[in-house]
């Protein structure tokens, strides 16, 4: 049996414009090309999986309930756009800024691979033939640590490119289509 592939997407900065600690639908501005990309991936039988650090929860800026309300709204938008999300994984913890039980190290907080590995187990994914799109090198590091085959850096994060090397850097989400159709 052939395992399914996934298109892993960071949320803030890839799905929506990063407005810093987003938690309300009225704050959401979707990144140009996200729905075209997701429709194409869905058509090719990719699972659409969101993997997102959400330390705003741990820092007390918004609650888990508010995060889940926004996520449910976003999931409805993706369904309306013809590209339902398979799963959304999030990490509310922060090792130094988290409040109370949210202050801790977590294997789910990128650059650690925990969210991706959980998705691989839950959805029985073919990680070497999957694609990850992130706007930070920590996203790329998480994908590489999990064994994702194609880790694409969207945008301009060059904070430590001497250590972390994405498969490619893309400046528009339309450039990701080539990795879905003919990974190279």
36 is catalytic: no
Catalytic residue among 10, 135, 139, 157: 10
10 is catalytic: yes
Q: Which two tokens stand for residue 170?
A: 């893309």
d(C-alpha 55, C-alpha 43), whole Å? 33
Q: Is 162 exposed, middle or buried (0-12, 13-18, 19+ CB in 10 A)?
A: exposed
Catalytic residue among 12, 135, 139, 157: 12
Tell which residue, 20, 136, 9, has the closest CA to residue 75: 9
- Name the E strands within 29-109: 47-53, 87-91
Distance from CA of residue 62 to its chain's centroid? Answer: 20
Looking up tokens 């949320």, which residue turns up?
Answer: 11
Q: Which residues are catalytic?
A: 10, 12
């Amino acid at each position: 049996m052939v395992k399914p592939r996934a298109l892993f997407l960071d949320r803030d900065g890839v799905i929506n414009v990063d407005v810093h600690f987003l938690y309300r639908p009225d704050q959401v501005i979707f990144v140009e090309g996200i729905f075209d990309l997701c429709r194409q991936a869905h058509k090719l039988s990719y699972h659409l999986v969101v993997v997102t650090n959400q330390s705003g929860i741990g820092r007390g800026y918004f609650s888990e309930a508010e995060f889940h309300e926004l996520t449910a709204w976003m999931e409805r938008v993706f369904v309306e756009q013809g590209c339902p999300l398979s799963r959304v994984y999030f990490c509310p913890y922060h090792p130094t800024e988290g409040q109370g039980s949210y202050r801790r190290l977590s294997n789910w907080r990128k650059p650690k691979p925990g969210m991706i590995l959980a998705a691989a187990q839950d959805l029985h994914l073919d990680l070497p033939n999957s694609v990850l799109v992130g706007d930070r090198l920590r996203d790329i590091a998480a994908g590489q640590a999990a064994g994702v085959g194609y880790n694409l850096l969207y945008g301009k994060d060059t904070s430590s490119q001497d250590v972390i090397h994405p498969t490619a850097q893309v400046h528009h989400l339309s450039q990701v289509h080539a990795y879905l159709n003919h990974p190279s």
